[in-house]
Amino acid sequence: MTDVQLRSSPGFKFFQNILLRPGLIYHITDKQSIGIGYTYFATWDHNESPRTFEPENRIFQQYILELEFGRMKLNNRFRLEQRFIQQTSGNVFAQLRHQVQAKIRLNADTAFKKGWHLNLQNEIFLNIQNKEKLNNNFFDQNRPYAGIGYRFTKKIETELGYYHLYQLEKDSRIREPIVQLMLITNL
């Protein structure tokens, strides 16, 4: 699997983040899979003077349980990430992420080999190791999301969506609307 994302800044003035996430997935059954992978996540802050750049490297392990109900595919993904932020030496911590996603076929064929879909999801981030290096909280963030996408083949699709980031910092809370454009491959 490969996941590439470009994310906008608040107000849609520029691209603020790029995410590159290759990984390997093993299907235990038709409904269950496990995976491992690597993520490169970069942030540019154009509001700072001079502009700042924060690269981050992550290693992840995940388990996915898929269920289908008519035209809807429901995914439960549990992902454990070990995050390495280069900006501050020694800033390594682990997070557990739980995502629930409902992908609803709109005008797609029965096997969903191609066609339009609606994606509704929510993801919660929990700090399970070294939370004092991040924000001193067990709860880190929540990301409700809605998007519309098109599947070109069973292995390639694109999606444009909106999510509202709610994140706890050490001394504040971040609330940001974010537009996200994704290209998803499953080769």
**Domain enclosing residue 125, as ranges:** 2-185
Which pLDDT does position 111 carry in this prediction? Answer: 77
Instruction: Name residue 115's beta-bridge partners.
Output: 151
Q: Other CB atoms closer than 10 Å to residue 157's CB: what's the count?
A: 21
Which pLDDT does position 4 carry in this prediction? Answer: 87
Which pLDDT does position 89 carry in this prediction? Answer: 52
Q: In the chain, how many domains are there?
A: 1
C-alpha–C-alpha distance, residues 94 and 10, integer Å = 27
CATH number at residue 177: 2.40.160
**What's the average pLDDT block by block, 10 residues per block, for the chain (187 residues)?**
80 80 96 97 75 87 95 95 72 87 86 90 92 84 96 92 90 87 82
Which pLDDT does position 91 carry in this prediction? Answer: 67
Which pLDDT does position 86 carry in this prediction? Answer: 65
Give 111-161 pLDDT, tens digit per residue: 788 899 999 999 999 998 888 777 888 999 999 999 999 999 988 999 999
The CA-based angle 59-148-36, given to 5 degrees, is 15
Closest CA to 126 of 176, 173, 90, 81: 81
Which pLDDT does position 112 carry in this prediction? Answer: 81
C-alpha–C-alpha distance, residues 29 and 67, integer Å = 12
